[in-house]
Structure 1
């Protein structure tokens, strides 16, 4: 059986020395094997001691039951339709997170403090949510945990151990021009495949969770575009973004298009692959590079999107940046431009007023 703590197969021995060799020992061996097979088919694992009565239930089945429970509350008018919609929306994001982590066979007991903390980091970092949105997810997660404890899937509500974030101006900052050049020079020498990932974030503004789902067939060299399907985009709408000349050249140099169109653009080692990588590979790799270059902690992989929006807006206008970022409104794009990044209209300096 596979030990969940290590992810490796582990042998479990049953000693039959107390039985005499021959029919008696053979009979007992067959009995033990039959019992083990029956237990394994019901989800039993000898290397896991479940702290709760239902700790071995598949988490996918729990989600199905939770949805049915919420629907029943609405039917009985205990919960409003609006609250149901909100809960289902957050539950859908949790499912996306688990799918991103390839956790289809996860059991209830594995939905622990580490998993919940990673989920809230996924909301804040990978989905680029505000501290307030992340805190709202924490509130919902606590309510979900209370239900899990009541139904004996978990032994305790772990969310109480996760702190609430201060809701202030975001900690993440865009890279300066000088540091962008340092990053490019360093990666050109040491890691060109990750440089391509950084360029995709800087020039296309495609979110990390979306980047892991982009396939080579979504890229058009002739039109220099990347298609972002509604099935993978945050706003659930199809989108088309422009592909910068430098990215096209880099893709050709790295022989990206020699891979099948069904391959994901970025695998675990940032090479095209049939296997989808987890979105955290971008921030984890960037954290290593950040330390090597001595960058401040406020520089994160998603900072490249901030930097790109700032530079494109200042050079080509905020409307161009809005369209490339697939924002619904200019006000959303404006949030990426802190005070020192904004430029004034030159015409305003020479406006002749009536005063």
Structure 2
């Protein structure tokens, strides 16, 4: 019989032996710990055991046992003792938690996200996206008559069915499917940390392959037409679109910029970390074609104003909703009978492509667009400026 099979053993400088599962006729979790309340202190490790309740299948039983073992070992490592002063009894298996409704957990999760957003730990866009995801999950549950379902209903089958509905029934894109999967994975891990669930099943659900993004370039003729029209009818929205085209600034970033961020004397716009999508403070250059437009746009503006506000895109105190930018673009696009493929973000794509076509060094374009790598910028390279390798062409390679 080994020493570890004795109910009491002595090991110098050791306070405990980690818990482990014994799958015998009776499944038990076994571990050893010092009893600090022992009348005669002798540094003996006492064996503690408790049974693992049965499940329908061994796999679920092992998973359940593992969760208890992890918790026990974490407590033992922190110096916790399974004994008490009264009867030195070990920790008992916890009673099954009360049924918690999935809807309530959704609301609790969103409440935490709202608090993090208020403290600037998360972006408002993140809150909006998560709110939308949960809203659609709730709608799906109600359609399935599961509005009172327990949190355990949030399992692999449910999530697969929901994602199939998103992709096959609603005919959303692969990117949308994958975005939902990303959120489900995040929420699932949150549930595990709060001990609502025990298993991360999302690794079993595959992403759908996303086709390469097609970038639509707005031709010079159409570009000139819409810019001239905006200049005559809505000069402040014209300034916004011009800024997006020349400075390659994203829609949400434009809605957060303040007048003070525009340094006309230096010819730059400062984009702080709390404004930037990538959470990095950077600057972009204001080309000479844009300077006079911004000077006109900023007449009588205060430094604390938003650069483009909700007041018809003028500088002002009320922050602009990013969606209003693209909605306004759609209105003008329809009015001018432009192609549906000319989206608002096509302005930024067109600006990047034009800079590269003009021979601007890729590194400068990358910095202006604030891409994470040169490779990302090179995806915009038009085929017309790509050239054959001279060394390959002149290579004397015989058959």
Please, what TM-score do these two structures have when normalized by structure 2?
Answer: 0.52
Give yes or no for contact 2:258–2:306 (8 Å, CA) kept in 1.
yes
After TM superposition, the structure 1 = structure 2 runs for residues 141-290 of structure 1, keeping only pairs within 5 Å, are 141-143=183-185, 167-254=210-297, 256-268=298-310, 269-290=312-333
Give yes or no for contact 1:313–1:319 (8 Å, CA) kept in 2.
no
Q: Which residue of 1 aligns with 2:179?
A: 137
Structure 1 CA distance, aligned partners of 2:245 and 2:174?
Answer: 25
The alpha carbon displacement at 1:205 in A equals 0.7
Structure 2 CA distance, aligned partners of 1:253 and 1:289?
Answer: 22
Q: Which residue of 2 aligns with 1:112?
A: 135
The alpha carbon displacement at 1:309 in A equals 0.4
Structure 2 residue 369 is matched with structure 1 residue 325: yes
1:201-227, CA deviations, whole angstroms, 9 ceiling, x for partnerless residues? 110011111111111101111111000
Summarize the Cα distance change of 1:237–1:110 in structure 2 as closer, same or farther, 3 Å threshold: closer
Give yes or no for contact 2:272–2:280 (8 Å, CA) kept in 1.
yes
Summarize the Cα distance change of 1:299–1:192 in structure 2 as closer, same or farther, 3 Å threshold: same
Q: Which residue of 2 aligns with 1:293?
A: 336
Give yes or no for contact 1:322–1:330 (8 Å, CA) kept in 2.
yes
Structure 2 residue 379 is matched with structure 1 residue 335: yes
Unaligned 5+ runs, structure 2? 1-100, 140-172, 195-206
The alpha carbon displacement at 1:325 in A equals 0.9
- Structure 2 counterpart SS, 1:258: coil
The alpha carbon displacement at 1:62 in A equals 4.1
- Structure 2 counterpart SS, 1:251: helix
1:148-206, CA deviations, whole angstroms, 9 ceiling, x for partnerless residues? 9999xxxxxxxxxxxx9872132451211221111112112222111111111110011
Q: Which residue of 2 aligns with 1:353?
A: 394
Greater strand fraction, Structure 1 or Structure 2: 2
After TM superposition, the structure 1 = structure 2 runs for residues 14-93 of structure 1, keeping only pairs within 5 Å, are 54=104, 60-63=110-113
Unaligned 5+ runs, structure 1? 1-50, 68-91, 117-130, 152-163
The alpha carbon displacement at 1:258 in A equals 1.9
Give yes or no for contact 1:171–1:298 (8 Å, CA) kept in 2.
no
Structure 2 CA distance, aligned partners of 1:201 and 1:259?
Answer: 20
Summarize the Cα distance change of 1:206–1:56 in structure 2 as closer, same or farther, 3 Å threshold: closer
Structure 2 CA distance, aligned partners of 1:232 and 1:214?
Answer: 7
Q: Which residue of 1 aligns with 2:73?
A: none
- Structure 2 counterpart SS, 1:112: helix
Give yes or no for contact 2:254–2:308 (8 Å, CA) kept in 1.
yes
How many residues get paired?
Answer: 246
After TM superposition, the structure 1 = structure 2 runs for residues 93-108 of structure 1, keeping only pairs within 5 Å, are 95-97=123-125
Structure 2 CA distance, aligned partners of 1:330 and 1:197?
Answer: 26
The alpha carbon displacement at 1:312 in A equals 0.6
Higher relative contact order (CA 8 A, sep 6+): 1
Summarize the Cα distance change of 1:146–1:323 in structure 2 as closer, same or farther, 3 Å threshold: closer
Give yes or no for contact 2:357–2:385 (8 Å, CA) kept in 1.
yes
The alpha carbon displacement at 1:323 in A equals 1.8
Structure 1 stretch displaced more, 244-253 or 135-144: 135-144
RMSD over aligned Cα, in angstroms? Answer: 4.1
